[in-house]
Amino acid sequence: MTAVNAMFERLSGVQGGDGREAEGLSAAAKAQEPGNFLRHFAALSMTKSADGLFDPKLVLSWLLSHLGTPAALIGLLVPIREAGALLPQLFTAPHIHALPVRKWAWALACLGQGLAALLLVLIGLNMQGATAGVAACGAVALLAVSRSVASVSYKDILGKTIAKTRRGAVTGSAASASALVVVIFALLLIFAPVDRFVLVIGALGVAAVLWGAAFLTFSTLREDRDPGAGDPRILSQLRLLRDKPMLRRFIYARGLLTGTALAPPYLIVLGAQAGNGTFKALGASVLASAVASFLSSYVWGRLADRSSKTVLMLSGLFGAAALVLGVVLDLMGLSSTLWAIPVSLFLLMICYHGVRQGRSTYLVDLAPSEQRTAYTAVANTVIGVILLGSGAIGAVASLIGPHGALLCFAGLALAGAGVASRLSEVETGFSLFSMERD
C-alpha cells in the first residue's frame, strides 16, 4: 500500500477491504480519489487556517480599533464579509458551472483572498483612523467576492472528486488541522512577549502566504472535464425554490441556525459587563473558537457522512442549550469568573462548527450532480439575505439587553433543529428521524 493510500484510509475511515463503493464518482475519478482527497485536505487546511488568522469578527476588529478607526466602520466588516460572500453567487454560479474544469475558479479565488490579506498588512502598517477603516472595508469586500467564487465552485468540485461517504471526513479533517494553527496563534497572543500589533500583522502575512500555497496545491487536483449547462437566467435558478421542497426546507433550517454564528458577540458583552477582563482579551476569544473547532470538526464531519441532517439537528439543540446556559450563568452572577462565559462560548462554537459541517455535506449530497452549483448558489444567496435579517433581529432584541438577544438566538436555533429533523435522509447511515427524499 502506498503512503498516499494509507493516509487516505486513515483520514477517511475507509479500509481497503471494507467493500464500500466510491458512490457518485466516474471511473477515472475513483482511481484518482486517494490523491485528490489529500489535495483537498492540504488546500482546505491552508485556507481554513488563513480564515482563522484573518477573522474579521476578532482579529480585524481588534486591528482597526488599534488604528483608531471609528466604530461604525469596524461594524461593517462582518456584514461585508458574510453578505458579500453569499449574495453574488446567484449571478456567478451559471458561469462557473459552464466551465469544463472548475478547480481553477477555486484556486484563483484563493489568490484573491491572499491579496486581500496582503492589503490588510499594508493598511495596518501605513494608515490610521477612518482612512484605514475605508481601505479595510474594501479589502474585506475583495475577500468576500473571492470567497463567493470559492464557495459556489467548491461543492461542485468536491462532488466530482470525492465519494459521497467521505466528503464530511475531508472537510472535517481539514478544519481540525487548521484549528491547531489558530490555537498556536491564540497562545502567542496570550503569552508571547511580543507586541500584539506585530503578531496580528504577522498573522495576516502568514494568511496571505497560506492562500497562495492553497492555490498551488489545488491547481494539481485531478478533475474530470465536464462542461455543464449553466443557465445565466436568475429566475430559472430561483425556480428551484418552488420545485425542490427539500432544498427549501434545508434553507429554512440553515437560516434559523445562523443564530449560532451571530450570538458569540453577545456572550462577549456579558463577560465584559461583568468585568471579565481576561476573557475580553483577543487571544482568549480566538483560543476558545479554535479549540472548539479542533475537538469537534473531524467528529462532526465523520458523523455528517452518515447523517448530515442529524448533525444539523444536534447542533441546533445543543447550540440553544449553550446560549441558555450563558444567560443562566450570568443571572447567577458567575460571568465575572474565569470559566463561566468561556465555557458557554466554547460549547456554542462546537455547535457552530457542527452547523458548518452539516450544512455543507447535506447540500452536496442532496443536489443532483448536474445542479449542484445551482443548488449552492440559490441556497447561499437566500442565506445571505437571511443573515441580514437575523442580524436585524439580534439588534432589535439587544435593545432589551444581551439576555434578550441570546434567548432570541436560542429560540431560532431550537426552531432550526426542529426543521432539520424533518429533512430527508441523503446519506446511507442512521438518523434519529427519517423522511422520503423529494
384-393 own/partner pairs: CB under 8 Å, 24+ apart = 384/82, 384/83, 384/85, 384/86, 384/87, 384/89, 385/87, 386/251, 386/255, 386/258, 387/82, 387/83, 387/86, 387/258, 387/261, 387/262, 388/79, 388/83, 390/255, 390/258, 390/259, 390/262, 391/79, 391/262
pTM tops 0.85, yes or no:
no
Confidence check: pLDDT of 290 > 90 = no
Confidence check: pLDDT of 85 > 90 = no
Percent of the chain exceeding pLDDT 70 equals 87
Averaged pLDDT for residues 412-420 = 96
What is residue 17's predicted lDDT score, i.e. its pLDDT? 45
**Measured distance CA(97)–CA(101) in Å, rounded:** 9
The CATH architecture assigned to 233-438 reads Up-down Bundle (1.20)
Percent of the chain exceeding pLDDT 90 equals 41
What is residue 386's predicted lDDT score, i.e. its pLDDT? 82
- Return mean pLDDT, the chain: 85
Contact 407, 323 (CB under 8 A): yes
Largest CA distance in the chain: 62
| HEC letters along the chain | CCHHHHHHHHHHCCCCCCCCCCCCCCHHHHHHHHHHHHHHHHHHHHHHHHHHHHCHHHHHHHHHHHCCCCHHHHCCHHHHHHHHHHCCHHHHHHHHHCCCCCHHHHHHHHHHHHHHHHHHHHHHHHCCHHHHHHHHHHHHHHHHHHHHHHHHHHHHHHHHHCCHHHHHHHHHHHHHHHHHHHHHHHHHHHHCCCCHHHHHHHHHHHHHHHHHHHHHHHCCCCCCCCCCCCCCCHHHHHHHHHHCHHHHHHHHHHHHCCHHHHCHHHHHHHHHHCCCHHHHCHHHHHHHHHHHHHHHHHHHHHHHHHHHHHHHHHHHHHHHHHHHHHHHHHHCCCCCCCCHHHHHHHHHHHHHHHHHHHHHHHHHHHCCHHHHHHHHHHHHHHHHHHHHHHHHHHHHHHCCCHHHHHHHHHHHHHHHHHHHCCCCCCCCCCCCCCCCCC
Domain 29-221 CATH assignment equals 3.90.1150.10: no
pLDDT tens-digit map of 352-362? 999 989 998 99
pLDDT tens-digit map of 141-188? 999 999 999 988 898 899 889 988 788 889 889 988 998 999 899 888
pLDDT tens-digit map of 361-387? 999 899 988 788 788 888 988 888 887
In angstroms, what CA-CA distances link 346 with 58, 272, 304?
15, 17, 21
Sketch the domain layout of the chain as residue ranges: 29-221, 233-438
| DSSP symbols for 116-133 | HHHHHHHHHHH--HHHHH
Averaged pLDDT for residues 319-340 = 89
What is residue 369's predicted lDDT score, i.e. its pLDDT? 80
Confidence check: pLDDT of 333 > 70 = yes
At 141, list the grid cell.
469586500
The pLDDT confidence band at residue 431, using thresholds 50, 70 and 90, is: low
What is residue 340's predicted lDDT score, i.e. its pLDDT? 83
What is residue 436's predicted lDDT score, i.e. its pLDDT? 44
Averaged pLDDT for residues 78-103 = 83
pLDDT tens-digit map of 183-225? 899 888 888 888 889 999 999 999 999 999 999 999 999 998 8
Domains 29-221 and 233-438 share a fold: yes
**Measured distance CA(283)–CA(85) in Å, rounded:** 26
Helix, strand or coil, per DSSP, at residue 63: helix
What is residue 291's predicted lDDT score, i.e. its pLDDT? 87
Averaged pLDDT for residues 333-349 = 84
The pLDDT confidence band at residue 438, using thresholds 50, 70 and 90, is: very low
CA 30 to chain centroid: 27
Confidence check: pLDDT of 316 > 90 = yes
CB atoms within 10 A of CB 95: 14
Give the residue, 376 or 103, on which the prediction is more confident: 103
The pLDDT confidence band at residue 15, using thresholds 50, 70 and 90, is: low
What is residue 394's predicted lDDT score, i.e. its pLDDT? 61
pLDDT tens-digit map of 43-75? 999 999 999 998 887 788 888 888 988 867 876
Contact 9, 18 (CB under 8 A): no
pLDDT tens-digit map of 228-283? 655 556 666 788 888 999 999 999 999 999 888 878 877 876 776 776 554 445 67
